[in-house]
Amino acid sequence: MLTKDHLDRIEVVLISPRNPLNIGAAARAMANFGFTHLTVVAPFEAHWREAQSAIGAEELLKNAKRTESLEEAIAECTLVIGTGTLVYRKAEQPAVIVPELGGRVTSELGRGGRVALVFGSEKHGLTREDLSYCHLLAVIPTDPRQPSMNLGQAVAVFLYELAGRNEIQPQLPVENAVEASPLPVASGELDRLAMMIEEAMLAAGYSPKGMQAANRHDVRLLLRRLKLNAADTRRAFGLFRRMLHKLKR
Which residue stretch of 42-50, 107-115, 127-135, 176-184 sits at the interface with a second copy (rule: CB under 8 A)? 176-184
Q: Which is nearer to a second copy, 186 or 204 (CB)?
A: 204
Is residue 179 a contact point for a second copy (CB under 8 A)? yes
Among 16, 67, 78, 93, binds a second copy (CB under 8 A): 93
Contact 109, 145 (CB under 8 A): no
The pattern of x and - marking residues 10 through 49 that bind a second copy according to CB under 8 A reads -----------x---x--xx-xxxx---------------
CB of 230 to a second copy, least distance (A): 13
Binding-residue total with a second copy (CB under 8 A): 82
Pairing of strands 79-84, 115-119: parallel
Is residue 226 a contact point for a second copy (CB under 8 A)? yes
Residue type, 50: E
Residue 100, Cβ density class (10 Å: 0-12 exposed, 13-18 middle, ≥19 buried): exposed
CB of 113 to a second copy, least distance (A): 18
Sheet with 115-119: list strands edge to edge: 65-67, 37-41, 10-15, 115-119, 79-84, 136-139, 95-97
Q: Which is nearer to a second copy, 42 or 236 (CB)?
A: 236
Residue type, 88: Y
Alpha-carbon span 105 to 101, nearest angstrom: 6
Alpha-carbon span 150 to 52, nearest angstrom: 18
* Residues 125-164 contacting a second copy, CB under 8 A: 137, 139-150, 152-157, 160-161, 164
Compute φ and ψ for 136, nearest 5 degrees: -150, 145
Which residue stretch of 39-47, 75-83, 88-96, 112-120 sits at the interface with a second copy (rule: CB under 8 A)? 88-96
Is residue 74 a contact point for a second copy (CB under 8 A)? no
Is residue 50 a contact point for a second copy (CB under 8 A)? no
Is residue 230 a contact point for a second copy (CB under 8 A)? no
237 CB contacts (<8 Å, ≥6 apart)? 192, 193, 196
Q: Which is nearer to a second copy, 42 or 247 (CB)?
A: 247
